[in-house]
A and B are shown apart, each in its own frame.
Chain A
């Protein structure tokens, strides 16, 4: 294949109900960095319904061009509808790189597209860099987070990868930034639309997004039970809206915490300003989800707990004593 025909760094802009998802802006930030290294442009691929007016937002966050695919067929995310639109846009514009959020949408769409395009796809990348000869180097955890692997797709285009929410950093919005908006109308083969959306149900109790919190008070086995988590919640409450209680997998499996609070390889990747790990031993799968936090403070009874290997401050002690005392002191 003639690789030189493929240019620029493209980002799939995921929206839900017309709301651009944070991961899309994070990817625009990363794409800006990659494009600068390559001397190329950042292009946003923006499918949806009644979304054209938001193209400027994408420019403010780093897009040089926005390809708007605004049509009623794309109102809700459905695999085939989105795959057709994205496939046609990719065939027309010939990107060198396409990035997707590793969400339930991105991880459904990107592999379908990779098979249609007969190109490579690397999932859940934690690091993206450009090699000396201008290729994308995609680093991801393997073996349940026990190893890191750097993967390349040198002979096929586009080079595609998914990145989990919270891994990359968005740029701050620049209101004065200028860019180009291109309208692209896909031609749908509706005979292939064989999955129908009946309803979308949101768990209101799941309103809390731990990836967006500035402070996470996180509990593991050492917290023990619901009453233990109430103590963590009391501490989080002292910090107000910016603090949220999260959890290790063990507490989710035990039914004590909701799955959407889970940090780690099978949960969410977080990088808050403060991660306070309470009674979390620090299995490698857990560390994979939080070790990029700016400040990590760990409290654990076991002085050999692996969580102390990533903590900026480690306290060997009983969370049930220390947390309520800390809460009282902070209230003053």
Chain B
């Protein structure tokens, strides 16, 4: 079995702070991490490697510094790592990103393509299903677990709002995986040491076959027209009083707003 896992380097948005004076994001010092859902997807692939001796390739599209998450993937146990990097990809929205990644994946052997459900810097959950469409493969999103029969059927658990579904997919197929359900392994010490000597292949637009107008900013149907810090509403009064007085204040407010 051959598995391709798409991963992305993202700023750790839980560490993002807003400058209270200017209302802009303080970008300095925000750590870059492997996107959590992608790491969950990578763990799923590595479990299939443990059990079925699957061959696992990771691919990321991003700037040269995204090399760091590919080394991390090596330290976790993957077999091959590809950095897809080119100025031609810059300014891509989800559709243009999915075209570039799908074109790269077409040059690899795969029975299963795994992506994270969504990346924490965009939260769109779009690139996985879009890759599946370009590769003409069936997809299951929100995957929390997968059991492979060793041949061509994979039984997956898909999380839903009010429970879960069990679905059966035949390979080749695409899964988008939830981090919350699959705890990733740690890098091994030996893996960390060896990761620095392993080869990360660098692919550019020359390594893939695709119409250039489908890539980057020109291949992106959506455009960000403006971005702005969220306006917070005018805060109400804050009181520091005894518990009894606090209860009085709350009850008065509930009456004022006809809650009681």
Number of chain A residues whose Cβ lies closer than 8 Å to a Cβ of chain B? 81
Interface string of A252-288 (1 = CB under 8 A from B): 0000000110000100000001100000000111000
A151 at the interface (CB under 8 A from B): yes
Residue in B94, B98, B236, B237 whose Cβ sees the most chain A Cβ within 10 Å? B236
Residue in B120, B138, B169, B222 whose Cβ sees the most chain A Cβ within 10 Å? B222
Interface string of B124-135 (1 = CB under 8 A from A): 111111101110
Assess whether B244 is in contact with A152, with CB atoms less than 8 Å apart.
no
Interface string of B114-153 (1 = CB under 8 A from A): 0000001111111111101110001111100000000000
Chain B nearest Cβ from A318, distance in angstroms: 7
A108 at the interface (CB under 8 A from B): yes
Chain A nearest Cβ from B137, distance in angstroms: 8
Known: A121-B95, A259-B180. A147 touches B253 (CB 8 A): no
A175 at the interface (CB under 8 A from B): no
Assess whether A297 is in contact with B138, with CB atoms less than 8 Å apart.
no
Assess whether B95 is in contact with A147, with CB atoms less than 8 Å apart.
no
Assess whether A151 is in contact with B236, with CB atoms less than 8 Å apart.
no
Q: Is the interface of A mostly helix, strand, loop or mixed?
A: mixed
A residues near B238, Cβ cutoff 8 Å: 303, 308, 311, 314-316
A312 at the interface (CB under 8 A from B): yes
Contact of A195 among B124, B168, B222 (CB under 8 A): B168
Closest to B171 in A: A194
B93 at the interface (CB under 8 A from A): yes
A103 at the interface (CB under 8 A from B): yes
Assess whether B155 is in contact with A79, with CB atoms less than 8 Å apart.
no
Chain B nearest Cβ from A254, distance in angstroms: 13
CA gap between A315 and B236 in the complex, in Å: 10
Assess whether A284 is in contact with B18, with CB atoms less than 8 Å apart.
yes
B residues near A110, Cβ cutoff 8 Å: 126
CA gap between A146 and B237 in the complex, in Å: 24
A230 at the interface (CB under 8 A from B): no
CA gap between A7 and B43 in the complex, in Å: 45
A227 at the interface (CB under 8 A from B): no
Assess whether A148 is in contact with B227, with CB atoms less than 8 Å apart.
yes
Contact of B222 among A151, A196, A315, A317 (CB under 8 A): A151
Assess whether A112 is in contact with B230, with CB atoms less than 8 Å apart.
no
Assess whether A322 is in contact with B253, with CB atoms less than 8 Å apart.
no
Stretch of B53-61, B76-84, B159-167, B194-202 that contacts chain A:
B159-167
Known: A194-B170, A215-B259, A303-B238. A317 touches B243 (CB 8 A): yes
Contact of B162 among A196, A203, A316 (CB under 8 A): A203
Chain B nearest Cβ from A15, distance in angstroms: 14
CA gap between A143 and B122 in the complex, in Å: 6
**Residues 222-260 of A contacting B (Cβ, < 8 Å):** 259-260
CA gap between A312 and B244 in the complex, in Å: 19
Interface string of A10-34 (1 = CB under 8 A from B): 0000000000000000000000000
Contact of A120 among B95, B120, B141, B253 (CB under 8 A): B95
Interface string of A190-216 (1 = CB under 8 A from B): 001011111111110011000000010
A5 at the interface (CB under 8 A from B): no
Assess whether B226 is in contact with A322, with CB atoms less than 8 Å apart.
no
Assess whether A155 is in contact with B259, with CB atoms less than 8 Å apart.
no
Assess whether A329 is in contact with B235, with CB atoms less than 8 Å apart.
no
A326 at the interface (CB under 8 A from B): yes
Assess whether B253 is in contact with A295, with CB atoms less than 8 Å apart.
yes
A residues lining the B interface (CB < 8 Å) = 79-80, 103-104, 107-108, 110-112, 114-116, 118-124, 137, 141-156, 192, 194-203, 206-207, 215, 259-260, 265, 273-274, 283-285, 291, 294-295, 297, 299, 303, 308-318, 321-322, 325-326, 329-330
Q: Which 8 pairs, one residue from A and one from B, show the smallest C-beta to C-beta distance?
A: A144-B13, A120-B221, A314-B238, A115-B133, A120-B222, A111-B126, A111-B129, A312-B236
- Interface CB pairs A-B, < 8 A, 18: A80-B138, A104-B159, A104-B161, A111-B94, A112-B129, A116-B133, A143-B121, A146-B18, A147-B228, A147-B230, A151-B225, A153-B223, A195-B168, A203-B162, A303-B238, A314-B238, A315-B241, A321-B243
